[in-house]
Structure 1
Amino acid sequence: MDTPTTAADTHPTLILDRSRDMHLLHEALARAQMEDRLREAELQRRAAHVRVARKMKRRAEVASLRARRALALAVMQ
């Protein structure tokens, strides 16, 4: 009984091509994962920046209220 031969059995270049394709597939997967991680890191940086900006805004508002009260007290005296 003969076993059927495939194109890969008769041409070693097809095996090399498949091996190269698998290597490139792993590279593409690694690149996609790296891009996802970079995107997530950028989102976290932006979120941190927004939190800091909101905190500074609240501090500025409190300082403004204090200044208004101090001015109002100075005018009333």
Structure 2
Amino acid sequence: MYVMQEDLARAQLREQLTQAEQSRRRRLALQVEKAQRRAERAERRADRAAAKARLAVARAM
């Protein structure tokens, strides 16, 4: 009887570890996606700022 309880406990722990790992991977993937979106927004802002600066230089001439 003891062996069955130990096997069940091991199986439950293994399942918990699997779920924790999947959760960690999902969280990491979300962090990567957020970082990519932030980088894309920053790139667009930099492009707009550069275009605005070029326009200001062109108008000053």
Q: Output the TM-score relative to the length of structure 1.
A: 0.69
- Specify which structure has the higher proportion of helix: 2
Tell me which amino acid in the other structure corresponds to 2:49: A
1:25 counterpart residue number: 4
Matched, 1:41 2:20: yes
- State the aligned residue count: 56
Tell me how far apart the structure 2 counterparts of residues 25 and 31 of structure 1 sit (CA, whole Å).
10
Q: How much identity, in percent, do the aligned residues show?
A: 43
Give the aligned CA root-mean-square deviation in angstroms.
0.7
Structure (1 or 2) with the larger CA radius of gyration:
1
Unaligned runs of 5+ in 1: 1-21
Unaligned runs of 5+ in 2: 57-61
Residue 58 of structure 1 and its aligned partner are, at CA, apart by 0.6
Tell me how far apart the structure 2 counterparts of residues 72 and 24 of structure 1 sit (CA, whole Å).
72
Tell me how far apart the structure 2 counterparts of residues 73 and 51 of structure 1 sit (CA, whole Å).
33
Q: Which has the higher contact order (CA 8 A, sep 6+)?
A: 1
